[in-house]
Every structure is written in structure tokens, then in C-alpha cells.
Structure 1
């Protein structure tokens, strides 16, 4: 009997041991599952707190930079009501720190007024207000009363909207002066955390400046015409801040952005190779050759003279290259000197390395525009400006109107007596130039001396 009991105990022990061994993996799996769930819960809980803090920080970040776009009484109004507009000589832009709804079907921005009153206004979101091109469409802004229900949102966004027009395109001066630079001034401070709503959407403009736009906003721009819906944003800016012709004024709002900062931004965005002219291994001059008006009638002889003076010469005529901003800017950046007759092409001086030279051939009747748009701005870019002012005998207008005509002897009087548009037609659309090579050589030699005797070499 005793032996039988011992045999049964041993069998039970073995059976229990076997069951225990079978259970261990399940037990470990259960503990591991519980442990992992605990880790997951802890991480989620901790992450949630961080997310809440990050969201709060993000809101404060956006609000702070929105407030930098207004100053003085407008700043106090923004703090008190959540809405204010900055109206300057050149530009107007409105800022809302309140949630807004943008109806892209008719480009209406709905802003809560926080009161029982309603009013509205209309602005054209283009930087240079005193010279608005015809294609710029208005944006209607309605500050609606508490009892008003604006159209319901179909899309919700977590970033502020920046509304502007790309209506005036096809001219590199106007594209950079009135859209790209003001867009940089207005949005750079947000570090890409904005959504661009492009009124008068031009696919060619967006494609041309895609690299720059992508650096200023981390999202594709919204085309209202292709949208036809209602978008909700936590805040918005309608219009762009403009400082001056091809200019960034670090002391103007939002503050801190000067031309040197913008040129650094362009170099990084467009992949420009040279920062200073001393880095260019041999003197290289790019000639902007015009095929319509303001042509160099003895261009071949000019090129021979410039080569003889010591420059390698690159001739650029109107082509697809000029419309490809990335390729064209890199070509300009490879050169020590940019040469051209007065015109929008000289805007490309912005891509020259520091210490390079821009030579402007100043035609009759273009003195003010030459200095204002390209001469004064070159200095702010760190580019040396050389002015070649033609004599009356170098202008085709002397043959067309007679060398003793007031058109030739007193161009300023043409603007006074005939008006701006007729004068523009004469001096910009009817004028070509035959350069005096002997006199012009002095300017070329001076440019060569500047770029080869650079202190940084």
C-alpha cells in the first residue's frame, strides 16, 4: 500500500511539474503584455502632457509673430480686439489673431467682431498699393456680429493663413519687388508654419518660385479658384508688408530682416555657389542682350572689346533660361559683373556675389528710374554700381526725333508736357543705343579693377 501511495505521489508531482512548465510561457506572455501596456500607457500619458504644452507654445509662437506685423496704435488694437490693419504709404495688410473662415468661392474672410455690430472692408492683397495692376482681385473682409452665423467650415487648418495675390507676373522686377520680397518679409518669421492662399493664382508664377515658396511655407499653396469651399484657420494675415523698391528695412515691421539676410536665404534656397566675388576664379561678365527695344546696336563689337579688356563673356538673350529662376540665378552667381541697358533684367543683380559689379547703361529719359530701381538698391546688396550714362549721339532717338529735339536735349520736359505714358513709350519702347566703345571701355576697365583687386582675394 505504501509503495502504491509513493508511486501516486511521484506521478502527481511529475504531472504538476509538467503543467507548471507548460504554463510558464503563458505566464511570461501575460506579464510581458501587462508590462508593455503599462509602458504604452505611461508613454501616452507623458506624451499627451508634452503635446498639450507644445500646442500652447505653438499658439503663443504664432500670436507673437502675428503681433510683430503691426505697431503702435494698431498693435494695441490687435491686443484688445484680435484684429488690426497696418496701412503704410506703399502697402496695407490686416492681421487677425482670432479664428477666421475664408470662403474661397468669393474670397470673403469672416472675422468674429466680438460685439453686436458688423462692418466690412475690402483690400487688394498686393504689396505696392499706389501702383496696383488691373488683375489684382479684391478680398472682402467681414467682421461679423455675435448673432451672425458665417458659412460652415468644410476644412479645418491648424496654421494661420497668409492671403496675397500673384496677379502681376511675367516681369522679374515686379515678381521679386512686389511679391517675393514682401512675402519673405511677412512670412519668414513663422518658420514655414503658415498656409499660403494665393489669390489670382498663376501656375507659372508658383512653378517658377516653387523653391522659395516651399521654404516659406511647409504646405502647398491654396488656389482659391480651384477650391470653391470654406476653410477655417486659427488666425490670418491678408496682404503683404512692403518696405521699398527691392528693399528690406531691418528697422521696419516685422523687424530684423535686411537685404543681407534675404540674400543669404536666396543662396541657401537656390543653391548659389559663390558668396563673394573673390571666390570666382576668373573675371566673368554676363551681358543681358535685348532683342526688342533698348537693344545694343553694336553688340558684337562691344563683346569683342570686353573680351579684349580681360573678361570672359556670357551673353544671355530672352529664353526659357531666364524664366527658370533656379538655373538663371546660378548662372548670374557665377559672374563677377552684370551688364545691361536699363530694364527689369537688372533685377538679377540680387543673385550676384558680394563685391561683384552691376553696370547699368542709362538711356535717355531713364535717369530717375535707373537710380531708384537698380542703382540705389545695388548698394544695399553689397554690389558695386557703375553707371554708364549715354550721350545723345549714342541714342537712336537722335535720329528718330532729331538731335536738337527736346526728346534728346531735355527728356524731363517730355514727362512734364506729354505725361508719363507717352514719355514711357518714347524712352522705353522706341529707344536703342549704339555704344561709344572708346568711352565705354573706361567703365569696363574700372569694373575689372574692382573685381580683381577685391580685398578678400
Structure 2
């Protein structure tokens, strides 16, 4: 892993006989209808539906506490993707007809869940499950088909799905010729997921893979077998501490699995997506949500601070960028913040950064400020009650900022502020004449598609916030921090 760069700055009357006879007739009719319904109508089925550069006067090693000791098995052994060795009696449990097998109506993910005699044949990317005789007629009408095909990556509808392997869930009868024999039997459920999409970008690592995987796997309390499709060994190694929080069993590389067919009592294909970097607790078994996810992150990376404050001065963390959306006056920002009583640190993580090192630095912060981008995803490591300040570049990007980070921040127990870049604070003002549509009519650029928007406003824009305006935002951030919590 590359080192990453850190810098510092110094929620009535009696009825008549005729009426009486009418009532009696109606009552007799209703009784007859009730008997007919009881005899011929069955009850309905209920379907629950960085490179860190350190400035001369910073000794970061002395300021950031080391991770907690890890009692898990040897990391050198776990760092490799290996086949699971779980053993246990294989028990045939009949497929339940009370719930859908595959849910393919989600906007961002398709998910299949099967119980019973389940056999995962990784070489053919097929999950077989055996139905009981004549079970088809008892299934919900939309589940009587024989096969479902899905791509187990939570970015449904995106072109990137072309790089995600398609898996088949196949319902077969006992004795079907296509049913493979069990070559390894597991006593725990399986969860199959892909890392073949936009992984490598921290935002997509979390919103497309890690959070959906948590949604689907946390319910098993660690007793679950993870099978990775479209494997990227470097990615698995990078997030191994997180995966170990979800499973006590060694990860299976489904692309290179030597077993013929692994048999499980239950399998989930395709993690369930709820929202960007978020969990809807009302949709999870037992009601777990982002609080539990953040606690898992804390255990994974040895994060000691659970709440903001408790230090002599609040610490401000600036997320630096080098190639686009960079702060052109970062040093001036740091000096101004220090004059407000902040201790200031700047960090520039990149794709090769060891996640744990960045996480432990971020966890020391009370306020984090950064331009819209993947680096803000590090807010998952902030202590509860900390403040996120998202700097929104010029270009009508408020909707993107809202969906990506503003709404997720609230679900993490964080406070949120925005600083919107004005025309004179953007490098675009130097690249285009004052009457150019890029400056005057950003929606015209948006209408050209995501490629045009990204090229102009995300890839070719740097910012220089007015220090006097930013000063007001950082003062507001201080006021949002837990009161009387700084020594």
C-alpha cells in the first residue's frame, strides 16, 4: 500500500313487521354466503413482501492511537482468498412458498434468497435448489418460473453491469439430471456478491458493495459464508477487516473455486441496496441500521472515538485533492481555521491508501471539510456528533451533493453543512468567458448527459473558497459540536 499524505497548519322506536321480515331475509342470505365462502374459498397466502505527506512540524504517529488488538486468526493466512473449510451435516429443508424467491423490482439491486437443499456451482455461476414434489402450484404466481438470472452488484441499470458476471438461480426437481452432487457441505448460509463494478472508488466501494453486503449478511451474526464473484484480490485484501466483521469463515473466490458444488442450508445471491451509503432499519431483520454498520467499521479498523469532543481543541480535517476539485488556497484555509481555535490536519487519501490508516486519522476529527467527491465517503469513520462540511462546486450539482453525502450524513448521526462555490471562486471563471453556458446555464450542460457534466464540472474544476465566507461556515460547525465537550 502507498503511504498517504497528511499535513497540518502550525429523529328508537320498534320496527314494523315488514322491516323485521326484511332484516331476517338479509341475515339468512349473509349466513348462506358465509357458508359458501368457507367451503370453496381458501385463506389467501400472506407474502412478506494516499499518499500522506507529513509537514515538517507534524508527528502523526504520536497523535493517532494504534488500532485495538485483533483476536482473530492469523492475518497472514486471512490475507489470501482461500476456499472455505466449513463442515457439517447437510440437511434438506423444503423451499418455503410463503415468500418470493427473487426480488427483481428494486431500482438498484436484484436479490434472490433460497432455503433448503441449496447447491452453489461456482464454475457455472449457478445456484440450484431442490423443490418438493408439486411445490410449484403452491408458489406465488410470479415465482413459478424455473430460473432467474441476476448480476449480484448493486448498480442495476448501469453500463458497468456488463463487467459483472450473471448468475442463475435454478429450481429443479429431486433427481433432476442437471443437479450436481455435493462435494462440500456447509452448516452456515451463503451470500454471493460481486466486486466487478466501480470498485476502487471509495464511494462505490461503500455504496455499491460494503453497505449492501452488510444489509444482507449482518443478520447471520458472523455465521455466514461469503463467496466473491468477479474477484479482485487487491480489493478483498484492502477491505478484509470489514469482511471479517461480517463472516468468521474464510472467503471463497467463486471465480477460482476448486469445489464442484458447495451445499448450503440457505443462500442469498445479490446484496440488497436500500439507499446511498445507508441502511433502512425498517427493512432489516431485527431492525439493524447504520449505527451497527459504523460500529462494525470501528471494530474493523480499531477506531477509539465514538463521539466528537473530549479533546483540548476541536480538530478540523481537510480532505485534500490533487488532480481535480482541489482547494487552491488550502494553506490559507488552514491558517484561518486555526485562528478560530481549531487544530487543523489535511489528508490526501488515494486509491492505494491503506484504509485503516486513513480511518484512524479521520476518527480523530470533529469537523471534516472537503469538496464533493469520493474522499467525503470517509465520513463513515467520523465519531458521532461530528460535522461534515461539503463544498459543492459550481455547476448545479446540489442534487448530486444531496444524494451522495447530505442525506447519508444524517443517517450516520453526523451534523451536516454546505458551502456552495460561487462563480468567482471557481477555476471555471478563468477558463470560459463570462457569458458562456458553462457559467450561465449549467442545465444546458447537464442535458448533454453525465459524460459532459462530469468532464466540465467534476474533472476540470478547482475551487478557491472566500476565507471570510468559509470562516462563517466553520464557526457554525463549532456551534453544532456537542456543547461543553472540549477541555
Residue equivalent to 2:180: 151
Task: Name the stretch that deviates more: 401-410 or 348-357.
Answer: 401-410
Is 1:401 aligned with 2:432?
yes
Higher relative CO (CA 8 A, sep ≥ 6), structure 1 or 2? 2
Deviations along 1:43-67, one digit per CA (max 9) or x if unpaired, are xxxxxxxxxxxxxxxxxxxxxxxxx
**2:308 and 2:383 in contact (8 A); partners too:** yes
Q: Given the superposition, is the C-alpha separation of residues 176 and 205 from structure 1 closer, same or farther in structure 2, using an over 3 Å criterion? A: same
Residue equivalent to 1:199: 229
Q: Given the superposition, is the C-alpha separation of residues 72 and 289 from structure 1 closer, same or farther in structure 2, using an over 3 Å criterion? A: farther
Is 1:73 aligned with 2:73?
no
Residue equivalent to 1:308: 339
Residue equivalent to 1:422: 452
Alpha-carbon distance between aligned partners in 2 of 1:186 and 1:103, rounded to the nearest angstrom:
21
Residue equivalent to 1:340: 370
Task: Name the stretch that deviates more: 98-107 or 129-138.
Answer: 129-138
| Alignment size in residue pairs | 384
**Greater per-residue helix proportion:** 1
Structure 1: runs of 5 or more not aligned: 1-70
Alpha-carbon distance between aligned partners in 1 of 2:46 and 2:222, rounded to the nearest angstrom:
26
1:338 is displaced (CA, Å) by 0.8
Alpha-carbon distance between aligned partners in 1 of 2:148 and 2:97, rounded to the nearest angstrom:
19
Structure 2: runs of 5 or more not aligned: 1-44, 50-93, 137-144
Q: Where do residues 8-407 of structure 1 align in structure 2 (5 Å cutoff)? A: 73=47, 79-80=96-97, 84-87=101-104, 88-115=106-133, 119-131=146-158, 133=160, 134-149=162-177, 150-168=179-197, 169-230=199-260, 231-319=262-350, 323-365=353-395, 366-407=397-438
1:439 is displaced (CA, Å) by 1.6
Deviations along 1:14-43, one digit per CA (max 9) or x if unpaired, are xxxxxxxxxxxxxxxxxxxxxxxxxxxxxx
Q: Given the superposition, is the C-alpha separation of residues 300 and 281 from structure 1 closer, same or farther in structure 2, using an over 3 Å criterion? A: same
**1:162 and 1:194 in contact (8 A); partners too:** yes
Deviations along 1:348-388, one digit per CA (max 9) or x if unpaired, are 11111111111111101221111111112112212111100
Q: What is the SS of the residue equivalent to 2:303?
A: coil
Alpha-carbon distance between aligned partners in 2 of 1:346 and 1:172, rounded to the nearest angstrom:
9
Runs of 4+ in 1 over 4 A off after TM superposition: 115-118, 454-457
Q: TM-score, normalised by structure 2?
A: 0.74
Alpha-carbon distance between aligned partners in 2 of 1:334 and 1:456, rounded to the nearest angstrom:
13
Q: What is the SS of the residue equivalent to 2:123?
A: coil
Deviations along 1:211-265, one digit per CA (max 9) or x if unpaired, are 2211211111100222143222222111111110111111124350122222223
**1:83 and 1:98 in contact (8 A); partners too:** no
Q: Given the superposition, is the C-alpha separation of residues 129 and 280 from structure 1 closer, same or farther in structure 2, using an over 3 Å criterion? A: farther
Alpha-carbon distance between aligned partners in 2 of 1:243 and 1:372, rounded to the nearest angstrom:
13
1:81 is displaced (CA, Å) by 7.2
Q: What is the SS of the residue equivalent to 1:73?
A: coil
Alpha-carbon distance between aligned partners in 2 of 1:456 and 1:200, rounded to the nearest angstrom:
47
Q: Larger Cα Rg: Structure 1 or Structure 2? A: 1
Q: Given the superposition, is the C-alpha separation of residues 452 and 262 from structure 1 closer, same or farther in structure 2, using an over 3 Å criterion? A: closer
Task: Name the stretch that deviates more: 389-398 or 323-332.
Answer: 323-332
Q: Given the superposition, is the C-alpha separation of residues 310 and 72 from structure 1 closer, same or farther in structure 2, using an over 3 Å criterion? A: farther
Q: Given the superposition, is the C-alpha separation of residues 261 and 72 from structure 1 closer, same or farther in structure 2, using an over 3 Å criterion? A: farther
Q: Given the superposition, is the C-alpha separation of residues 79 and 119 from structure 1 closer, same or farther in structure 2, using an over 3 Å criterion? A: closer
**1:83 and 1:97 in contact (8 A); partners too:** no
